[in-house]
Structure 1
Amino acid sequence: MPLTVFRDAVVWTGLPTPPGAGQPPTALAVRDGRIEAVGAAAEALAGAADELLDLGGGLLMPAFGDGHCHPDQGGFEALGPRIRPCTSVHELVTEVGRYAAAHPEAEWILGGSYDSTLAPDGLFDARWLDAAVPDRPVALRAWDYHTLWCNTEAMRRAGLDDSVQDSERGRFARRPDGSLLGTMVEWDAVDAVLGAAPARSLDERTRALAVATRGYAAAGVTWIQDAWVEHEAVDAYLAAARQGVLATRVNLALRADPSRWREQLAEFAADRDRIEAAGSDRLTVRTVKFFVDGIIENRTAALLEPYADDPCARGMPLWAAAELRAALVEIDRLGLQPHLHAIGDAGIRTALDAVAHLTEVRGSRDRRPVIAHVQLVDPADLPRFAELGVIANIEPLWLQPDPAMTDLTMPRLGEARSRQQYPLGSLLGSGARVSFGSDWPVSDHRPLTGLPVSVTRQTPQRRPEGGWLPQERIDIETAMSCYTAGVAHQAMADDRGVLAPGRVADLVWLDRDPRDRDPHDVPGTTVLGTWLAGRRIYGTHG
């Protein structure tokens, strides 16, 4: 079995430093994908190494993970119209027109993800897109992926007219005269449009996954949780695995539909079985995704009290509480892990109640349920995460008063509830386990961009002074652990996430140590190499 020795770099193991330990280790030995030795014991093996890598400084640490993302959607964004960088409605429309002209073969123009703050209240008019593309349907996802903007032709193809009615799980925005505006909010309304579009081809899906996972490898990430997988996407993952284009490990969370989850149980089991039969070391199906509610920005997150700017609204619960409890019990019988999107305080309470019911019915076991985003938590529910063994998956880039927060979120919540958002420090202080994610393409997939926000709770412009809700800030090593050991715990990969003999050698080599930098300078750190089980998946070394 070949032996590789890494040396001449500070090695951060991710483990507590023993008192009086002296200087940090500078070498690490890997054999057959696992760590053989750390520090002086690794240096002593250098003479016997089959491969000796002198790193020339920087930091060698456990590879990052992403506990919540959407790689296929991120890959599609890279392949479609590039609207994410656009800073005005005019730029959006111009880019869509450019893409349509360059792709006359495209029956539909599909893309994402536009900045919802570019139009008042996040509402976009179909006629703006009609001016650029009047003769083909256009459907664009907002950056929250809970909202869609389309042109008039897309609504016509979908059979939508002014007579369409809102549902419990979807809202059609309207102009003052009652006509459809062109902005669709949440599942039923979004799906009413996208259901008319042609399905992505297997080749398109596979290319998107290849692009996405290569991007993750370049960011120092070796494991990602795809947190929203429809049944038809499983074939693309299998094809990508067969073709060897998955650069990272991916675990799939199959989405449970509240209207048909019982029929889906056999589907979930079959999809898991065929992926296990494929035998890929980079692809698993161990999780089921539940969208418990929506998002605050479009008033669909479920709140305990009405929205501050709409006293008639408390959000859009997507699951009846009893159905959610029953569904968690049944997926537990399949041995699958629940992963629950919950944003509002009522949504989070519903999710916690469902996990508590699951424990009562099925007993205690190491199931590691996940509640993702954990934005607005009622103080009474904070200790329940640790008590129930629920992992809080948090997206650190959201912990800042950026325009989406100040222009859309805070006006919806009001001052008092705005101060209860993303209680990261309080969760960790309570003993809860925390993993970090990106929700990419909602926000940047690179962990090095998320690290400083969890430490400072400031925008890149260093605002506000002292940080937003500074009592919830954490230190840089804790933040690094949330991206490494925290995500490994979520992945049920107890042999990853720290560097110690016998652990899997998932590694990232950075040109500088983030612990030695001003947190705002951390995004300028360069990933020089990424290794998955001792095999390099990104970078070169002379």
Structure 2
Amino acid sequence: MNKKADLILSSNAVFTGKEDHPIKASIAIANKKIIAIGTKEEMKAYADENTKTYDFKDQLITPGFHDFHLHIMQGCVFLNSVNLFDARSEAEAVKMVQEFADSKPDEPWIIGYMWDAGYWDPQNLPTRHSLDQVLPDRPAILFHAEMHYAWVNSKALELANIDKYTKNPEYGEIEKDVNGETTGILYENATSLVTNISHTFTEEQQEKMFENFLAHAASVGVTAVNDMYAPFQDSIEEYKFFKKFEDKDELSLRLYLWPELNGDIEYAKQLRKEYQSDRLRVSGLKQFIDGVVTSRTAYMLEPYADAPETRGETTFSQETYNTWVTEADKEGFAVRFHAIGDGAIRMALDAFEEAQNKNGKRDSRNAIEHVEVIHPDDIGRFNELGVIASMQPDHFAMSERGVYTDRIGKEREKYVFIINTLQKTGAKLAFGTDFPVDILDPMLQIYRAVTRIDNSGKDVWHPHERITLSEALKAYTAGPAYGTFTENEFGTLEVGKIADIAVLDRNLFDIPAEQIKDAQTVLTILDGQVIYEKDSHLKK
């Protein structure tokens, strides 16, 4: 006698992740797991009066989306901040900030994101003076679209005790003008001088923001995320906070934690032991090698085309990375490096290779984050060393293409975001958003990977680097499951696997590629339970 299902989902378009195209199928779910997949007729044997039956007709059923790279608490703040991505001048950005500030009279700090002077006319970086005109007494911190530098006003500098005499922190810069006065731009670790005081929230505020984030994630079909170490966060306090939600049974997504790789391996082992549940788990360690291209802090093998005096810089030395990775590898940790420039990517690969040489080869599943500009000699090393390419395809359309190309020059531009080339050479792909650097909705990343349409909205940036829709969906489901060593539980729709599922309002395989970004989630399931439903498709 068949076990009875809690839920049965049916559609003419089910993307299991085992095939390259959707199939017509019904899925029976009981006790968190998929217990059967077959025809509607076959699934009737699993139904009784308590079974909830859904019919999605031609809407696409997929495995739940798994965001392989984001920053949760910063993202929580983002959802309650001013988004400046549409600003096309410094004055326009200031006006948006003023309107937001007027709408939030009780907020002590004005926090914003997503401005990019590459889209402005003129393309000059902003200064504190324009913000001072509208916010003379309220502090403001506004993060550049890539999150590696910030624009602040004089009040923020005053509260952070930053003036013309303040020295730069390690791997950071307080920009100053020709007279030595602060401009209001803070690079890399210098931003933490302000975030240390701007990002202080009460527990009640944090809970409300996190609840908002969980609801938002469910509404875009995201059932798992990887929270990556970043200098601006207090990881340990955040982990304790997440644990409170888990203990209350209110953690409605799987949260894979990647604390800092910093040489303190005993503490990392303690954290791994402490957080090891189905919903909250330390999966490995993460560190930065470089910054980003637009601020010329990404580390290059050769000087920047438009600034020959610099190649960018690294947070630590090759020797330090080698030591830390070898030690972490010996203790069974996966390691992930933020590496954007070709020099940084090579350093990451060298560190992974050194660990293999010292400890022997194992199924380590290390990853490089972003992989924006790569030297051709290093492409094949991803497959050779078993390194995952963790990428966010929409990032190449977030930066103004002309500015990006000016920075690196025409020759290196040939090797920007080479998603398809990496895949063809055997590298495993895993996609994410880097939220709040980009929005949490997976559709934008999938659309960009499939079309390669650049920021102009018309031109295709290296058409040979497009991948298929099936490959993009797998990179957002099975790829991250592999990257967290959970491919036997998640990432595809198969009998015996846990039922983490998303349903979209259209079959992505049946629409023009440019419409992919408009698709919306209508149902999200985690552990066999409906956690989001837009419109009722329940038949009984």
Deviation string for 1:78-124 (max 9, x for gaps)?
A: 22344455444334323433444454544433333333435555622
SS at match of 2:79: helix
Deviation string for 1:223-267 (max 9, x for gaps)?
A: 1111125233222222332344432111111133xxxx23x4344
Is residue 224–residue 255 contact of structure 2 (8 Å, CA) maintained in 1?
A: yes
In structure 1, what is the equivalent of residue 404 of structure 2? 409
Q: 1:234 aligns with which of 226, 230, 239?
A: 239
Query: For residues 209 and 379 of structure 1, what CA distance do their matches in structure 2 show?
Result: 42
Aligned partner letter, 2:403:
L
State the Cα distance separating 1:196 from its structure 2 match: 4.3
Q: Residue 5 in 1 paired to residue 41 in 2?
A: no
In structure 1, what is the equivalent of residue 139 of structure 2? 137
Query: For residues 199 and 223 of structure 2, what CA distance do their matches in structure 1 show?
Result: 32
1:182-201 to structure 2, matched below 5 A, reads 182-187=184-189, 189-197=190-198, 199-201=200-202
Aligned partner letter, 2:254:
R
CA RMSD of aligned residues (A): 2.3
1:184-223 to structure 2, matched below 5 A, reads 184-187=186-189, 189-197=190-198, 199-223=200-224
Q: Percent identity?
A: 29
Query: For residues 129 and 157 of structure 2, what CA distance do their matches in structure 1 show?
Result: 12
Query: For residues 169 and 199 of structure 2, what CA distance do their matches in structure 1 show?
Result: 24
State the Cα distance separating 1:68 from its structure 2 match: 0.7
In structure 2, what is the equivalent of residue 273 of structure 1? 273
Query: For residues 231 and 272 of structure 1, what CA distance do their matches in structure 2 show?
Result: 12
Query: For residues 509 and 95 of structure 1, what CA distance do their matches in structure 2 show?
Result: 35
List alignment gaps of at least 5 residues for structure 2: none
State the Cα distance separating 1:17 from its structure 2 match: 6.2
Deviates more, 1:308-317 or 1:76-85: 76-85
Is residue 306–residue 314 contact of structure 1 (8 Å, CA) maintained in 2?
A: yes
Query: For residues 517 and 212 of structure 1, what CA distance do their matches in structure 2 show?
Result: 30
In structure 2, what is the equivalent of residue 33 of structure 1? 32
1:19-30 to structure 2, matched below 5 A, reads 24-30=23-29
Deviation string for 1:8-67 (max 9, x for gaps)?
A: 43222111369xxxx933212222222222223x64131431232222331212121111
In structure 1, what is the equivalent of residue 165 of structure 2? 163
Change over 3 Å in CA distance of 1:106–1:417 after alignment to 2: same
Deviation string for 1:199-246 (max 9, x for gaps)?
A: 233333333322223222111111111112523322222233234443
List alignment gaps of at least 5 residues for structure 1: none
In structure 2, what is the equivalent of residue 504 of structure 1? 498
TM-score (norm 2): 0.91
Query: For residues 451 and 401 of structure 2, what CA distance do their matches in structure 1 show?
Result: 17
SS at match of 1:9: strand
Query: For residues 163 and 118 of structure 1, what CA distance do their matches in structure 2 show?
Result: 32
State the Cα distance separating 1:408 from its structure 2 match: 2.7
Query: For residues 43 and 392 of structure 1, what CA distance do their matches in structure 2 show?
Result: 42
Aligned partner letter, 1:282:
R
1:461-476 to structure 2, matched below 5 A, reads 462-464=457-459, 467-476=460-469
State the Cα distance separating 1:379 from its structure 2 match: 0.5
Is residue 505–residue 531 contact of structure 1 (8 Å, CA) maintained in 2?
A: yes
Deviates more, 1:376-385 or 1:519-528: 519-528
In structure 2, what is the equivalent of residue 424 of structure 1? 419
Q: Residue 442 in 1 paired to residue 444 in 2?
A: no
Query: For residues 267 and 95 of structure 1, what CA distance do their matches in structure 2 show?
Result: 43
Report the count of equivalent residues: 524
Query: For residues 198 and 66 of structure 1, what CA distance do their matches in structure 2 show?
Result: 24
Deviates more, 1:99-108 or 1:226-235: 99-108
Query: For residues 56 and 145 of structure 2, what CA distance do their matches in structure 1 show?
Result: 38
Query: For residues 414 and 218 of structure 2, what CA distance do their matches in structure 1 show?
Result: 36
In structure 2, what is the equivalent of residue 353 of structure 1? 350
Deviates more, 1:519-528 or 1:103-112: 103-112
